[in-house]
Amino acid sequence: MAVPWINVLAPSMGGIGPIEGTDRRKVDLLTEKSGVPFYAGRFYPKSSKSIIDDLLDGIFQNDTPPWLAWEEIEPSQIWMVPVFEDERIVTTETSIERIDLWPREPDDPDEIPEFDDSTIRHSEAVKDGWGKVSPGAGTNVQNDSIDPGIIVRNNAVPPALFLGYVGISEISGYVSEYGFYDTELHLVNHKSYGQEHLPTDDYEMVRIREDGAWIRRSAELPRGAEGELVFIDDNEEGYPKESGVNGWSRSEYPAENYQNWVISSDKTEAETFGNDYWNFFTRWIGDNPKAGLVAMRPSRLDTIVFTIKVSCTTINVPDPIPGETALTLQDYARSGIESFGSNLTNNIWYFYWPVRYNGDLASKRFDYHLARAGINKLDNPDYLPPSSVS
């Protein structure tokens, strides 16, 4: 069997490091929830931490912050080494195949928001492809990763170059907002918002969220006790309050599957229209804006965690060839049996990788949609959005 090389300098060198002391409770909770049998270590993309700092971190198990989404990942290697003297690695298979919420605990800092993963919103996201890649899900593994922004190279260095003593895979790219599914776009449409082309005087409110677009049409905008616009109030099940007749109802334009409504993993799209579904509801038709007022709520997931799975194919190399052919054949036959047994044992390993939400591209995305808002026409009837956002 092959085992991971656990490196205490992984926070700066990249690769697999030990489970940090401050992570242990969360990793135990993650194991219970995800169904993954065990986690052998934590994956670290290369960072700028000094090696001296890493030595102290490795010895004293200090807390290393989660990786930040959209940050470029320098190629970071995962090394696997054989256990037995006569064993060699033929190939490695590495994939990032699970997303989970990084477990929250009562003593977490107050700035980490609460999130209820028991509502219809979470179940709809899971059904459409968030979480684990499975047959029939609305997403596909690309480059051996559930997040298309992350690139996995298996056998980055052919094991033969190391005579089978090391198997190396490599992770690069960036973590996109693919796993942070709950960003919402809010729209209010009305003739008084630069949308004189609308057929009625009703107000139209739109919530674009993970279970589709929800629309409410009424003669007046709903207000709270303090006069605030009531926009994102949900019931206990996660549906918009007052859904149904004269309330919120799903749009006749469904998002179809996860890729259609989650923020694109392409950086150019992520910092502009976000995804095709958002684009549909905010793009201009000629000089007529489809959105009057625009607001956006960023993700509340705060931190997600990827599960990295690594497996190796190994063979056992027999002792130097005996002089007699019969003994040679027996040795190779025994070697084949041992190899088969080795690959039936624990040649699969799992590692965790926590990643924190990054709102840098979300702020650019908000500016992009603000430039599309119909209210821009109130001060300038001839206003058109910049060509880059039309």
Q: Are residues 328 and 213 in the same domain?
A: no
Q: Are residues 141 and 33 in the same domain?
A: yes
CA atoms within 13 A on the CB side of 288: 11
Tell me the pLDDT band of 4, cut-offs 50, 70 and 90: confident
DSSP characters over 365-388: HHHHHHTT-TTHHHH-TT----GG
The answer to whether the CB of 275 falls within 8 A of the CB of 263 is: yes
DSSP characters over 271-296: TTT-SHHHHHHH-EETTEES-SEEEE
Q: Are residues 204 and 287 in the same domain?
A: yes
Q: Are strands 167-173 and 73-82 parallel, antiparallel or unpaired?
A: antiparallel
Is the model more confident about 172 or about 347? 172
Return the closest-CA partner of residue 6 out of 40, 47, 39, 48: 40
Q: Are residues 139 and 274 in the same domain?
A: no
User: In this structure, what are the phi and psi dihedrals at residue 370, rounded to the nearest 5 degrees?
Assistant: -60, -35
Q: Are residues 152 and 253 in the same domain?
A: no
The pLDDT value given to residue 13: 86
Residue 240 belongs to what domain range?
184-298+362-389
Q: Are residues 115 and 198 in the same domain?
A: no
What is the identity of the amino acid at 312? C
The stretch 191-206 carries a mean pLDDT of 95
What is the 8-class DSSP label of residue 65? P
- Give 272-303 pLDDT, tens digit per residue: 999 999 999 999 999 999 999 999 998 989 99
Query: Does 244 score more than 70 pLDDT?
Result: no
Matching residue, tokens 């219809």: 120
Q: Is 342 helix (H, G, I), strand (E, B) or coil?
A: helix
161 burial class (0-12, 13-18, 19+ CB within 10 angstroms)?
Answer: exposed
Q: Are residues 63 and 164 in the same domain?
A: yes
The answer to whether the CB of 248 falls within 8 A of the CB of 216 is: yes
According to the per-residue pLDDT averaged within each range, which of 54-58, 148-152, 245-249 is highest? 148-152
Q: Are residues 235 and 250 in the same domain?
A: yes
Question: What global pTM score does this model have?
Answer: 0.85
CA atoms within 13 A on the CB side of 44: 27
Q: Are residues 189 and 172 in the same domain?
A: no
Q: Are residues 165 and 220 in the same domain?
A: no
Q: Which residues, at least 6 apart from 358, have a Cβ–Cβ distance to it below 8 Å? A: 68, 69, 70, 71
The pLDDT value given to residue 136: 37
Distance of alpha carbon 201 from alpha carbon 191, whole angstroms: 7
Structure tokens at 184: 């919402």
Tell me the pLDDT band of 159, cut-offs 50, 70 and 90: low
Q: What is the count of structural domains for the chain? A: 2
Query: Taking all residues of the chain, what is their mean pLDDT, rounded to a whole number?
Result: 83
What is the identity of the amino acid at 68? L
Q: Are residues 46 and 64 in the same domain?
A: yes
Tell me the pLDDT band of 78, cut-offs 50, 70 and 90: very high
Tell me the pLDDT band of 75, cut-offs 50, 70 and 90: very high
The pLDDT value given to residue 165: 67
DSSP characters over 3-58: EE---TTHHHH-EEEPPPGGGHHHHHHHHHHH--S---EEEE---S--HHHHHHHH
Of the candidate ranges 15-24, 68-77, 147-156, 325-334, the one whose mean pLDDT is the lowest: 325-334
Structure tokens at 266: 């392409």
Q: Are residues 166 and 283 in the same domain?
A: no
